[in-house]
Amino acid sequence: MGSFAQTNVLKGHGFSRASNAEKRGWALAPEGCFSEISLALPHFAIGESMKISILRRSFILLTAIFLLNSVPCHSQVSAQYRDCDQRAHSQAEINSCANDEDARADSELNDVYRHLLSVAEKEPRATAKVKDAERVWIQYRDAYLEAMFPAEDKLAYYGSKYPSDFNIVRASLTREQTKKLRELIKQYEGQ
């Protein structure tokens, strides 16, 4: 391998490893397995109008991503929740709507779970496996919620909207699990 001072022209790029590093004040990779790789990048001339265009597009993209991530996914909440949330005039009412949404999701899960157990009875050892899976899922759900809201004093840290955020995330996780239990029902029913 060559030394740092050696000029290695990278094929197809037309720039020298050492001279580009010197011009830009960048370091070269130390001798060894990566010594032929330049840490210097070619400099491209970009006009002011191109820079402004790139900045505008970046701003629009980041704004769109922010807005899409800040809006709750309506496929994860029921029409009853959306209606309740629209009528709510205080954080306490919003929290109540979210609590009701969590209760609806949990009730649906329990109904589907009971149906799954009745269908799984036909398969040897299936009932025990389904119960084990549900027990582990509950542990996962609780751990996930703790990871989402790790602060010790949750109301002090997350504020008055913590109960609604917590219940909506929990309802979303519960609905996902309900879908998975329905898939198991189809499997046991042979569909």
**Quick one: 14 and 81 in the same domain?**
no
Q: Is there a domain that residue 127 lies in?
A: yes
Q: With the C-alpha atoms ordered 118, 119, 125, 131, is the resulting torsion angle positive or negative?
A: negative
**Quick one: 38 and 123 in the same domain?**
no
Note the pLDDT of residue 16: 47
Note the pLDDT of residue 110: 97
Neighbours of 45 (CB within 10 A): 5
**Quick one: 16 and 95 in the same domain?**
no
Q: Is there a domain that residue 158 lies in?
A: yes
Q: Is there a domain that residue 68 lies in?
A: no
Q: Is there a domain that residue 20 lies in?
A: yes
Q: Is there a domain that residue 154 lies in?
A: yes
- Assign residue 127 the CATH number of its domain: 1.20.1270.180
Residue numbers of the domain that contains 114: 76-189
What is the DSSP code (8-state) at residue 35? T
Query: What is the C-alpha to C-alpha distance for residues 109 and 43, in angstroms, rounded to an integer?
Result: 58
Domains contained in the chain, number = 2
Note the pLDDT of residue 149: 95
Using a cut of 0.75, tell me whether the model's pTM lies above it: no
Neighbours of 171 (CB within 10 A): 25
**Quick one: 85 and 9 in the same domain?**
no
Percent of all residues in the chain with a pLDDT value above 70, rounded to a whole number: 66
Tens digits of pLDDT across the chain (191 residues): 444 444 444 444 444 444 444 544 444 444 444 444 444 444 556 677 777 777 777 767 666 665 555 444 445 788 899 999 999 999 999 999 999 999 999 999 999 999 999 999 988 899 999 999 999 999 999 999 999 999 999 999 999 999 999 999 999 999 999 999 999 999 998 85
Q: Which 3 state secondary structure label does DSSP give 9?
A: strand
**Quick one: 122 and 28 in the same domain?**
no
Query: What is the C-alpha to C-alpha distance for residues 26 and 93, in angstroms, rounded to an integer?
Result: 58
What is the DSSP code (8-state) at residue 16? B
Neighbours of 159 (CB within 10 A): 11
